[in-house]
């Protein structure tokens, strides 16, 4: 659990809280990027370290963790642009003709209250770094059909974070038409997006798991799980000397969320994880 000092200096059931959201300013320059490392448990029982970074000046947060199979997962939230970026660096199977690793980027709209604000993330502290964290809330699986590609060279117009996060995935940056429409209404240049072939355009297009020919185009599915992230702020109440009740931020709620992305690939060889076993 995460906690924060109240307006009257008291903490709710505070001696049991192992995390603190400090009311005092962070040491160092205001708005400077901060990093917090936490230990989280993966579905297979293994423990990994997750890095959470916050830049209140740029109004963005990111987290990164390595899965048991070696895949490096990154999530970035750009609050200014209302953009969320997922990146997966997947180790390739050299014996099956794959490159050393495959990089995927999925860019979607960031909605309100999906993750705590950058200013609050920057103030997170933990008392016991050795504690293994498990999410308090498991949010529903989100299934996303990625029907658009993003031009890497123009992606910075959408979010400056695309340039750094998706540099290994220049040809595999995917988004959704409904999110693209939202950004274009805000003034984003639509020329950076290109609609991908869909089943309606190619009647023989199958899901890769059902496609026997590794050199045929198909719809690939990639599952991605964020094991632990601060998804909500908690508020507590206190009374001042006059007996007036006030609310103050006193902690965070942690969540786990799974995503499933469907997207077009020109050949099944680029989607060998999506096979029947």
What would the mean pLDDT of 30-54 be, rounded to a whole number?
A: 88
Coil, strand or helix: which one is 152?
A: helix
pLDDT over 80 (residue 42)? yes
Three-state SS across 214-244?
CCCCEEEEEEEEEEEEEEEEEEEEEECCCCC
Secondary structure of residue 263 in the 3-state scheme: strand
Given a contact cutoff of 8 angstroms between Cβ atoms, the answer to whether 87 and 169 are in contact is yes
User: What does R_g of the chain's alpha carbons equal in angstroms?
Assistant: 21
Question: Is residue 4 one of the residues assigned to a domain?
Answer: no
pTM: predicted TM-score of the whole model, two decimal places: 0.83
Q: Is residue 42 part of a domain?
A: yes
226 within a domain of the structure (yes/no): yes
In a domain, 7, yes or no: no
pLDDT in tens, 85-107: 999 999 876 666 666 789 999 99
Q: Is the dihedral of CA 164, 142, 225, 262 positive or negative?
A: negative
Count up the domains in the chain and report the number: 1
Distance CA 267, CA 132 (A): 40
Report the pLDDT value the prediction gives residue 31, as an integer from 0 to 100: 58
Whether 5 is in a domain gets the answer no
Q: DSSP states of 18-79 as a string?
A: -EEE-SSPPSSSTT--EEEEEEEE-TTS-EEEEEEEEETTTTEEEEEEE-TTS-EEEEEEET
Q: Is the pLDDT of residue 129 over 90?
A: no
Residue 1 lies in a domain: no
Q: What is the mean pLDDT of residues 65-78?
A: 95
Residue-wise pLDDT for 212-237, tens only, equals 999 999 999 999 999 999 999 988 88
pLDDT tens string 134-179 = 999 999 999 999 999 999 999 999 999 999 999 999 999 999 999 9
Asked whether residue 8 is assigned to any structural domain, the reply reads no
Q: According to the model, what pLDDT value does residue 24 have?
A: 27
Domain that holds residue 47: 13-270
Helix, strand, coil percentages, rounded to 5, for the chain: 15, 45, 40
- Residue 123 domain-assigned (yes or no): yes
């Amino acid at each position: 659990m995460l906690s924060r000092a109240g307006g009257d200096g008291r903490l709710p059931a505070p001696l049991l809280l192992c995390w603190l959201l400090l009311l005092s300013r962070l040491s160092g320059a205001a708005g400077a990027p901060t990093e917090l490392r936490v230990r989280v448990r993966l579905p297979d029982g293994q423990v990994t370290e997750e890095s959470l970074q916050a830049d209140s000046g740029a109004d963005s947060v990111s987290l990164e963790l390595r899965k048991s199979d070696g895949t490096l997962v990154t999530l970035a939230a750009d609050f200014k642009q209302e953009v969320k970026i997922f990146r997966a660096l997947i180790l390739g199977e050299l014996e099956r003709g794959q490159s050393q690793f495959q990089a995927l980027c999925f860019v979607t709209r960031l909605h309100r209250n999906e993750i705590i604000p950058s200013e609050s993330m920057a103030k997170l502290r933990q008392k016991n770094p050795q504690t293994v964290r498990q999410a308090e809330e498991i949010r529903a699986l989100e299934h996303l059909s990625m029907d658009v590609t993003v031009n890497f060279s123009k992606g910075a117009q959408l979010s400056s974070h695309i340039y750094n996060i998706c540099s290994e995935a220049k040809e595999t940056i995917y988004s959704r038409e409904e999110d693209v429409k939202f950004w274009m209404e805000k003034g984003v240049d639509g020329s950076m997006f290109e609609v991908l072939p869909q089943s309606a355009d190619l009647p023989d297009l199958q899901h890769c798991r059902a496609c026997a020919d590794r050199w045929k185009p198909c719809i690939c599915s990639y599952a991605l799980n964020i094991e632990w992230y601060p998804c909500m702020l908690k508020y507590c109440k206190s009374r001042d000397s006059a007996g007036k009740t006030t609310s103050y931020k006193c902690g965070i709620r942690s969540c786990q969320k799974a995503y499933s992305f469907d997207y077009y690939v020109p050949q099944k060889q680029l989607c060998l994880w999506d096979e029947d076993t």
